[in-house]
């Protein structure tokens, strides 16, 4: 089976509300096409293993997707289409084939490439693992559950998008990505009639004092294998008050922080404001590859498959690689999706890049596990 046909089958398996059908498809395909030990766990994760040795390498993806656009569903079924598109750049035109449909870019196309690479691999110097997690779009709940149940690997290629970062159409190797910490600042006051301002404590004023603290925080930054990774902190929502003539007794502020490995903005400083507390709602970890030899080996495999010059890059958003890195795995991210392709009503992926990723995964396995 080729990567296009397998991607089409994966995309046709619904997985935005319940990943069971897609997970069962991945499980059945691996059992039919490999002699690996395949396990579908209670969380909806699929893990397959072959080979043995002192070191382990995993090809890691996820089979859940975000909800489809209406145009991506027909008669209750996901729609996937193969079309020719014309790309224009620097006065020239190139016609390429693309697959359109929910999950083509994020990330059933790259998942299909990883499945095929796993099926064809014959590791002689270590254990090769294939893992497709559930719940990545819900904050990586499947990956977290697998780690809690004992999943571990020395190295991982996470097949999220890494194409088009250093140059258009080039599939790069991401050696780091940011995490995301979402927090809610809660300011408490005391209600009073607005005609008697001094009788209350205005929660909105306290909240704005806390916002001033956030504005003065320095953005965290670090360096990963020679690449700078800079985070950010931003207030994104604010709400408080109950009526035009009432001094507000409560105000909430949402803060979005993009974290970097080893560094956090001291958001807790807002609690120096009277009546203010901060609560962390989500904390998706960043990722940094700590093994330069592994990162270089993957880059060599990427370079061998394309005319462009891939590079080590950093990604701006979190993936399951963050959870794996926190558990001790050296990770890189290599996948077909380009910035702006995922989660859109016309989501698509290049057929050429899917086939390239298949060759990259083949090359990584061959060079790292023999």
Tell me: the pLDDT tens digits for 300-317?
999 999 999 999 999 998
Tell me: the pLDDT tens digits for 76-123?
788 888 887 766 555 656 667 999 999 999 999 999 999 999 999 999
Q: Which residues make Cβ contacts (< 8 Å) with residue 56, sequence separation at least 6?
A: 126, 127, 128, 129, 152, 153, 154, 155
Query: What pLDDT does 126 receive?
Result: 96
With tokens 């990956």, the residue in question is 143
Q: Specify the pTM.
A: 0.90
Q: How far lies 346's CA from each of 14, 65, 155, 340, in Å? A: 17, 14, 33, 10
Instruction: Using the predicted structure, report yes or no on whether residue 149 has a pLDDT greater than 70.
Output: yes
Asked whether residue 62 falls in the same domain as residue 166, the answer is: yes
Are the CB atoms for 300 and 332 separated by under 8 Å? no
Query: What pLDDT does 86 receive?
Result: 63
| Boundaries of domain holding 15 | 3-178+286-369
Asked whether residue 158 falls in the same domain as residue 301, the answer is: yes
Query: What pLDDT does 196 receive?
Result: 94
Domain end call among 283, 303, 325: 283
Mean pLDDT of 195-209: 96
Q: Write down the H helix ranges in 65-181.
A: 109-120, 141-148
Number of domains the chain is built from: 2
Does residue 104 sit in helix, strand or coil?
helix
Asked whether residue 168 falls in the same domain as residue 194, the answer is: no
**100-104, 223-227, 348-352 — which is least confidently predicted?**
223-227
**CATH number for 276:** 3.30.70.360
């Amino acid at each position: 089976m080729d990567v296009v046909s397998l991607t089409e089958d994966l995309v046709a398996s619904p997985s935005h509300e319940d990943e069971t059908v897609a997970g069962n498809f991945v499980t059945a395909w691996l059992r039919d096409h490999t002699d690996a030990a395949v396990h579908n766990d209670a969380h909806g994760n699929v893990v397959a293993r072959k080979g043995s040795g002192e070191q382990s390498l995993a090809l890691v993806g996820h089979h859940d997707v975000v909800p489809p656009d209406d145009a991506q569903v027909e008669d209750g079924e996901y729609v996937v289409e193969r079309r020719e598109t014309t790309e224009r750049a620097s006065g020239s035109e190139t016609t390429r084939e693309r697959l359109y449909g929910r999950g083509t870019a994020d990330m059933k196309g790259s998942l299909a490439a990883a499945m095929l690479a796993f099926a064809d691999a014959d590791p002689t110097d270590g254990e090769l693992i294939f893992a497709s997690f559930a719940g990545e779009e819900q904050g990586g709940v499947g990956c977290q559950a697998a780690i809690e149940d004992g999943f571990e690997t020395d190295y991982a290629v996470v097949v999220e998008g890494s194409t088009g970062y250093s140059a258009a159409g080039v599939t790069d190797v991401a050696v780091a990505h940011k995490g995301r910490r979402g927090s809610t600042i809660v300011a408490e006051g005391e209600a009073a009639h607005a005609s008697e301002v001094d009788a209350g404590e205005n929660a909105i004023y306290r909240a704005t004092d806390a916002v001033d603290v956030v504005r003065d925080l320095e953005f965290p930054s670090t360096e990963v294998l020679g690449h700078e990774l800079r985070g950010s902190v931003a207030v994104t929502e604010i709400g408080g008050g109950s009526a035009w003539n009432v001094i507000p007794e409560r105000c909430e502020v949402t803060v979005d922080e993009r974290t970097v490995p080893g560094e956090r903005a001291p958001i807790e400083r807002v609690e120096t404001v009277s009546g203010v507390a901060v609560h962390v709602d989500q904390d998706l970890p960043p990722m940094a590859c700590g093994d330069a030899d592994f990162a270089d080996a993957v880059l060599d495999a990427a370079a061998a498959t394309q005319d462009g010059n891939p590079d080590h890059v950093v990604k701006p958003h979190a993936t399951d690689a963050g959870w794996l890195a926190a558990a001790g795995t050296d990770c890189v991210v290599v996948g077909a999706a380009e910035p702006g392709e995922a989660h859109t009503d016309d989501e698509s992926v290049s057929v050429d890049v899917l086939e390239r990723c298949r060759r990259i995964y083949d090359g990584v396995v061959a060079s790292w596990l023999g």
